[in-house]
Amino acid sequence: MKKLDQEVKKLSSEEKMAILKNEVALINKRFKKNVVSFGHTKQLQRIPFKSTGLNEITGGGVPCGRFSVIWGSKGSGKTTNCYDLVANAQQMGKTCLWIDFERSFDPIWASTQGVTVEELLMAPAFDNAEQAMDLIISLTKSKAIDLIIIDSIQGLSPLGEQETKKGVERSMADDTMALLARKLSQFFRVSAGQVAESDCTVVMIGQTRMDLGGYITLEKLSGGNALEHWSSLTLHVRRGTKADAPTKMVDGKEVTDGFDMVARVDKSKVGPDEGKDCHIKFRFGKGIENEA
């Protein structure tokens, strides 16, 4: 053993590097792709929001090749933000897919936000979550899709919620607690590599769950620990106070013309510090106002 240690120590840095490079080449040849490389040269790209304020607090928009979550209560602007992302992505020449589990896609409102609906790939007819997850994995492997919007996380219904392993239809009385969280965990583990390699941006819309925290009601995002772990950017949007809402003049009177959208970065692995927030004007009939 001592003799072997002495032989290893005799190798110079140059010799070790030559051996290592040869081993790396053999490994990559075996797997038929570059699974090992020196350094990290890939530049992180982003798809920007319409709002300058959102781009400032997120570091330029949602990151490509990663999972992101935009969540909040009903009517807080999360879907409109996703329409804006699709519109910007299309302007950048990217292909986009909208998975509509909630059957709530509004083509007129999407067009108002700049989406070219005729060029948007729609998927509103999946029977269960697994079908959508398989599609995402297949499309990212083909590298044919650049942006995927999932509307919504809570709209995903795993097959196990609907029927037993023997194909027997389940009753609503059956307990399937945490099944979605487990299925999401599996999906992230299987798909993360392909999403990163294809540089595809996956944005998941999340709904607010209200929890009691001591004596106050708190907004929570359901979906399990895997969702929190795998999301590179988690953005929480909500309505602010009525006093901060945008207004307009009608017959000489000032009336409310929308609401104050408050956005906060809950988590960011790819940009500014967590906890940053901004206030954005959301005008009825028009959408998010660009501050620039």
Give the count of alpha carbons within 13 A of 278, CB side only: 19
C-alpha span between 213 and 14 (Å, rounded)? 59
Beta-strand relationship, 121-123 and 96-100 = parallel
**Model pLDDT, residue 219:** 72
**Model pLDDT, residue 1:** 52
Burial class (CB in 10 A: 0-12, 13-18, 19+), 146: buried
Taking the chain (292 residues) in consecutive chunks of 10 residues, what is each chunk's mean pLDDT?
Answer: 57 86 88 80 89 96 97 94 98 97 95 97 92 96 97 89 77 73 94 95 89 57 87 96 93 94 94 90 93 64
C-alpha span between 76 and 184 (Å, rounded)? 25
C-alpha span between 217 and 170 (Å, rounded)? 33
| In CATH, 45-236 is 3.40.50.920 | no
DSSP state letters, 25-73: HHHHHHHTS-SS-SS--PPPPEE--S-HHHHHHHTSSEETTSEEEEEES
**Model pLDDT, residue 10:** 79
C-alpha span between 94 and 110 (Å, rounded)? 17
C-alpha span between 82 and 184 (Å, rounded)? 21
Average pLDDT of the chain is: 89
DSSP H helical segments within 143-283, as ranges?
159-162, 179-198, 225-230
C-alpha span between 112 and 146 (Å, rounded)? 22
Domain-wise residue ranges, the chain: 45-236
**Model pLDDT, residue 218:** 60
- Do the Cβ atoms of 58 and 194 come closer than 8 Å? no
* Alpha-carbon torsion (110, 114, 117, 122), positive or negative: negative
Q: Give the number of other Cβ atoms within 10 Å of residue 154's Cβ.
A: 19
C-alpha span between 41 and 63 (Å, rounded)? 16
Distance from chain centroid for Cα 9: 48
